[in-house]
Structure 1
Amino acid sequence: MRKTLYIIGLSTLVFSCTSQKNVKKNTYRPKTTAAQPKTAVNSQNFEKNKPEVATEHGVEFFRTNIADITKNDNTISYGSIVSAKPAGYKVVKTHFPAVAQNFRQKYLILHYTVLPDDKSVEVLTQQSVSAHYLVNNLGDNEIYQLVDENKRSYHAGISAWRSDKNLNDTSIGIEIVNMGYKADASGMKVFQPFSDEQIKKVAALAKDIVTRYNIPATNVLAHSDIAPTRKQDPGPLFPWKKLYDEYQIGMWYDEMAKQNFLTLAQTDIETRYNEPSFIFVVQTALQKFGYDILPNGKWDDVTKKTVEALQYHFRPQNYSGVLDAETWAILQSLNQKYPTK
């Protein structure tokens, strides 16, 4: 009996293995085309053609861009190259720099000091607030640098624009000596003007910065843009349109586009102003443009201050914080011209 069972089991095992072997043998295998040889990258020629790291008084610099600026990649060193010094090892720059890099400096933020010249210098250099540059109001040709551009200055505070937050990390700050505003008897903010000499300084400085760091128009902003519930600077008397028209700095809407939106905007204001659905649409448009606001369908204080910030920048004739037809048309034209990528 045992012998019979053994023979049956052995036969079953042989049949099973044979079946698997046959299946494996007959498995369909599609034909594959011969792989095309990859083009070899001649890294030696690449390294040979790169400009050398420059050394001045023992400090190293690299001042030539070899990356693709259309991708916002940039290898230029505007300051000295900072390198590690690991104990027992030598850091070499045989393959320096890699092309896949860009600048920390993505934003340019403009402020006013609310202090006279001497006090502005004192506070911005001796206290826990700073900026990279300070533009005085002395009528001279000097601009004060207070912080290395490669370092963070403490000028933006709690801030946000589009998908970025804490803009101290990614921005250069310019402070302008100006006394800000005083409230009149009705509570209306009355702002102080900037001198022509200051605006020329700011324009020249801003042009240099945005050109060197390839900062887009959408990232040249007021402090009030990135912190609308806390800040008003540089206020409605700062000439954003002049910077846009004469120096190609920052954003501005197209007049024709604004006019195209204006008729429907007037209807919206007259017939839908207090409808939660309309308020939600306006808040969403503000958020889309870049402001840090959460749509909730209410004309609350945050929304009022955000509208006011928009008006400071793009509708300085009316900065009441109340949405009028022109402000609504301007916002829509800005979103059309500068869509979120």
Structure 2
Amino acid sequence: MRKTLYIIGLSVFVFSCTSQKNVKTTSYRPKTSTIQPKTTVKPGVDKSKSQVTNERGVEFFTTNIADPAKNDNTISYGSLVSAKPAGYKVVKTYFPAIAQNFRQRYLILHYTALPDDKSITVLTQQAVSAHYLVNNSGDNEIYQLVDENKRSYHAGVSAWRADKNLNDTSIGIEIVNSGYTADSTGKKIFVSFNDDQIKKVAALAKDIITRYQIPATNVLAHSDIAPTRKQDPGPLFPWKKLYDEYQIGMWYDESAKQSFYDAAQIDFAAKYNEPSFVFVIQTALQKFGYAVEPSGKWDDATKSTIEALQYHFRPQNYDGIMDAETWAILQALNQKYPTK
């Protein structure tokens, strides 16, 4: 009799494991066996054991079982936050789902235009903030002001490519720097950055970019995402140094820039004021990522956008005028970093 029951139970077990619906059964099973619902897993991933770790009652999950090629990532860089519904228990039997990614898709760099002490006060006590503040004190400290999982109020009205309101999807780094003053002609004179600060910024940015898989096209200046309102971190911020020495952010290929420059000089001045040519340049700015509306006119918004491009990629001259070199740089950037 027992042998018969055992055969029946074994048959039910085999059937339930091959069913796509994980059918529950009340058939007899030996007390020592535990049947887990069948789940589809990636090769090499053992879903029969929980990968959630518990430290003093706080849960963490630090393993990626999703597809990095899709920028999906199940790693949690902090404790897991879960609901606690009254009268019920939230369990992590099927945690985590592989279809997820990080909120943090952009890294935005700023300067404070204030000294150290006032920067701290403003960014912690007023209606503006950043995730990190890099001081100018010559020490090895970087101040964290906001949890990376939360929005800080650093970007304001902003846009890049198809995305808007970048507070929602970015991490902000503020750098203590005095900003700029205007000379007698109205030209902005910017203050340089301390070398120790740049080393801090590079180490911090590299860590954030690596953990959240932030692409080069999403490492930006505040002036890139709000060109009609902002100038920071300005033309003296060493974007090329970060690109060359730390592989951070974007930069054009010199050979491509030279090729476009040679072609641009042929008739650049002659067609400079033609509405159709202005429209082409505005469209190229928009294609790269700037939120400028093509109008066929050299309007103030277009000039501010060109100035922002020059701050980032042509800091030797940031007059807001589209000359042949700036045009060549923009074309080289669009060639290297096409919109997907």
Asked if the contact 1:285–1:331 (Cα under 8 Å) also holds between the matched residues in 2, the reply is: yes
- Counterpart of 1:55 in 2: which secondary structure? strand
Residue 50 to residue 44, structure 1, CA distance change in 2 (3 Å): farther
Q: CA deviation at 1:51?
A: 5.1
CA displacement, residues 186-207 of structure 1 (integer Å, 9 cap, x when unaligned)? 1100000000000000000000
d(CA) in 2 for partners of 1:172 and 1:44?
34
Asked if the contact 1:51–1:64 (Cα under 8 Å) also holds between the matched residues in 2, the reply is: no
Q: CA deviation at 1:39?
A: 11
Q: CA deviation at 1:55?
A: 1.1
Letter of the 1:106 counterpart: R
Report 1:100-249 matches (<5 A).
100-249=99-248
Instruction: Say which structure is richer in helix.
Output: 1
d(CA) in 2 for partners of 1:145 and 1:264?
47
Letter of the 1:315 counterpart: R
* Segment of structure 1 superposing worse, 81-90 or 315-324: 81-90
**Pairing 1:43–2:21 present:** no
Cα RMSD after superposing both structures: 1.6
Letter of the 1:336 counterpart: Q
d(CA) in 2 for partners of 1:164 and 1:339?
16
Q: CA deviation at 1:269?
A: 2.5
- Counterpart of 1:48 in 2: which secondary structure? coil
Q: Which runs of 5+ in 2 are unaligned?
A: 1-17, 21-36
Asked if the contact 2:110–2:222 (Cα under 8 Å) also holds between the matched residues in 1, the reply is: yes
CA displacement, residues 252-284 of structure 1 (integer Å, 9 cap, x when unaligned)? 000000011002222343111000000000000
d(CA) in 1 for partners of 2:127 and 2:85?
33
1:250 corresponds to: 249
Residue 302 to residue 50, structure 1, CA distance change in 2 (3 Å): farther
d(CA) in 2 for partners of 1:174 and 1:282?
31
Q: CA deviation at 1:79?
A: 1.4
* Segment of structure 1 superposing worse, 68-77 or 40-49: 40-49
**Pairing 1:299–2:298 present:** yes
Asked if the contact 2:190–2:235 (Cα under 8 Å) also holds between the matched residues in 1, the reply is: yes
d(CA) in 2 for partners of 1:209 and 1:323?
34
d(CA) in 2 for partners of 1:259 and 1:138?
41
d(CA) in 2 for partners of 1:104 and 1:159?
16
Letter of the 1:134 counterpart: L
Letter of the 1:43 counterpart: T
2:63 corresponds to: 64
Asked if the contact 2:50–2:93 (Cα under 8 Å) also holds between the matched residues in 1, the reply is: no
Letter of the 2:258 counterpart: Q
For the pair shown, the structure with the greater C-alpha radius of gyration is 1
Report 1:320-335 matches (<5 A).
320-335=319-334
d(CA) in 2 for partners of 1:211 and 1:109?
15
1:26 corresponds to: none
Q: CA deviation at 1:42?
A: 4.5
Question: How many residues were matched structurally?
Answer: 304
Asked if the contact 2:307–2:321 (Cα under 8 Å) also holds between the matched residues in 1, the reply is: yes
Asked if the contact 2:161–2:291 (Cα under 8 Å) also holds between the matched residues in 1, the reply is: yes
Asked if the contact 1:50–1:66 (Cα under 8 Å) also holds between the matched residues in 2, the reply is: no
Letter of the 2:72 counterpart: D
d(CA) in 1 for partners of 2:309 and 2:127?
28
Residue 90 to residue 64, structure 1, CA distance change in 2 (3 Å): same
* Segment of structure 1 superposing worse, 83-92 or 222-231: 83-92
Q: Which runs of 5+ in 1 are unaligned?
A: 1-37
Output the TM-score relative to the length of structure 2.
0.87
d(CA) in 1 for partners of 2:240 and 2:48?
44
1:4 corresponds to: none
d(CA) in 2 for partners of 1:291 and 1:39?
53
Asked if the contact 2:224–2:308 (Cα under 8 Å) also holds between the matched residues in 1, the reply is: yes
Residue 191 to residue 50, structure 1, CA distance change in 2 (3 Å): farther
d(CA) in 1 for partners of 2:180 and 2:221?
16
d(CA) in 1 for partners of 2:337 and 2:262?
21
